[in-house]
Amino acid sequence: MAAPAPGALYHIYAGLTALAAPALRAYVSRRMRAAGVPDVRIAERFGAATAARPKGPLIWFHAVSVGEALSILGLVAELAERRPDAQFLITSVSHTSSKLVAERLPPRTRHQFAPLDTPGAVSAFLAHWRPALACFVESELWPRLIVECDRRGIPLALINARLSERSQRRWRRFAGTAAALIGRFSAIVAQTQAGADAVRALGADAARISVSGDLKAASPRLPVDDAALPALAAQIEGRRAWAAASTHPGEEAQVAKAHDRARLLILAPRHPERGADVAAALRDAGWTVAQRSKGEALSEETEIYLADTLGELGLWYTLCEVVFLGGSFEPIGGHNPFEPAQFGCAVLHGPHVTNFRETYAEMAGAGASREVADAAALRAALDALETPGPRGEMWAAALRFTEARQAIRTAVADRLLPLLPA
């Protein structure tokens, strides 16, 4: 079924983004410089590649931020094994995602910042990289990129697709444009049946839609620094350690309220650059804090170890048997529960988990996670998990839950491979 032609609204969007290109360029440059990105890499956002295009069919994955980018690394590795002639490009937007992806690149893979959805950037990007297949991750529907890929005959896939209720409402207001964009995808692989129904309602061909489950469940385990692990384990030995990971402003105070001075809390804010502010607030509240980014020692007196570093969550999930996952006390939408579950951690979370609603419901049903409404409920859950029996049951359930989902990656690869040239 051919996709409808882009309508008037698309052409208005295309015209406005063309006119706004200089202002967008200045704004993005300013933001990225402030984040510490060098100018040569900032230019990637305007279509100026900083790596040569390799020989062979190139599969391009666009993932906007950290979670999406990391979720596809296992898929890229499997595709690399199954298509030894293929090359891979991952694009993302955030500086954090670029650093983490660069540390974990699968074989024959490179990273670039994604081009702005402006005429010059999109044209230069596609002219240089000439992808054989373009894969957009989750809900990344950039109109010009989609239309220009289709115009050049580049097959499009939307993988790990999900649309929030807010996104669905927005796209329903522009039903014709949504159908023109979503109809250009040769394959759409949704996380859930609800996600599949949502994209079909927007105009996708039902024959092109399938349901795989969440790719994040089949991602490789987070890396663990084996050099740092023994010393940290020795410093923690004999103490009841738990972790609060990916916390946001407003959540650290609630986590601290749930903390017992007889325990050790490893606190890893979602954005490590907030470390100084978080440490000051905790010390003002009377806690003894050691800040990892400053090399402060984790001693017997330490009550909260502030893990304000990037890329070390695997360490904390190895050392802690119970994890509270942030972004859930505040209305953020929750963060990836598969990551701690893959380490056999008992997963606790607050009520605001719209980004992973189905996953958390399945995990709770399997006995692998537990919702806590507030600091008092978190404290009660931590006390209950002091007992080896309940804690061990949650560990085992968490491992069973993630192990049962490893086939998701293969199912997605099976949908993508036929779209590549032989």
Predicted pLDDT of residue 422: 77
Q: The pTM is what?
A: 0.84
Domains defined for the chain, CATH in brackets: 8-21+53-214+406-419 (3.40.50.11720), 229-403 (3.40.50.2000)
Predicted pLDDT at 1: 60
Residues acting as catalytic residues: 68
Q: List all residues 6 or more positions away from 282 whose beta carbon is below 8 Å from its beta carbon.
A: 252, 256, 267, 289, 304, 306
CB 267 within 8 A of CB 244: yes
CB atoms within 10 A of CB 40: 9
Which residues, other chains included, contact 19 with Cβ-Cβ below 8 Å and sequence gap of 6+? none
- pLDDT score recorded for residue 170: 85
Positive or negative, the CA dihedral 181, 126, 62, 115 is negative
- pLDDT single digits (tens) 140-150: 789 999 999 99
The predicted-structure confidence for 107-135, as pLDDT tens digits, reads as follows 999 999 999 999 999 999 999 999 999 99
Alpha helices in 273-331 (DSSP H): 275-284, 313-319
Contact 304, 359 (CB under 8 A): no
Residue 228 has pLDDT above 70, yes or no: yes
Backbone angles phi, psi at 2, to 5 degrees: -75, 145
With a CB cutoff of 8 Å and minimum separation 6, the contacts of 354 are 164, 165, 333, 334
* Nearest residue to 170 (alpha-carbon basis) of 181, 186, 160, 159: 181
Q: Is residue 371 predicted with pLDDT exceeding 70?
A: yes
Share of the chain above pLDDT 70, in %: 100
Q: How far is CA 94 from CA 9, 248, 409, in A?
A: 28, 17, 24
Decide if pLDDT at 358 tops 90.
no
Query: What does the pLDDT look like over 243-269, one tens digit per residue?
Result: 999 999 999 999 999 999 889 999 999
Which of 3, 405, 364, 296 lies closest to 176, judged by CA?
3
What residue type is 101 in one-letter code? V
Give me the chain's average pLDDT, please. 94
Least confident of 77-81, 137-141, 142-146, 154-158: 137-141
The per-residue pLDDT for 208 is 95
Identify the pLDDT of residue 391.
87
Q: Is the pLDDT of residue 27 over 70?
A: yes
Amino acid 165: pLDDT: 81
**What does the pLDDT average to over 373-393?**
93
pLDDT surpasses 90 at 219: no
| pLDDT per position as a tens digit, 33-59 | 999 999 999 999 999 999 999 999 999
Q: What is the pLDDT of residue 169?
A: 86
Average pLDDT over residues 307-331: 96
Task: Look at residue 268 in the predicted model and tell me its pLDDT.
Answer: 98
- Give the β-pairing of 346-349 and 369-371: parallel
- Name residues whose C-beta falls within 8 Å of residue 237's C-beta, 6 or more positions apart in sequence: none
Segment 227-241 mean pLDDT: 93
Interval 80-100: pLDDT, tens: 999 999 999 999 998 888 988
- Residue 307 phi/psi, 5-degree rounding, is -90, 70
**Rounded Cα gap, residues 314 and 312, in angstroms:** 5
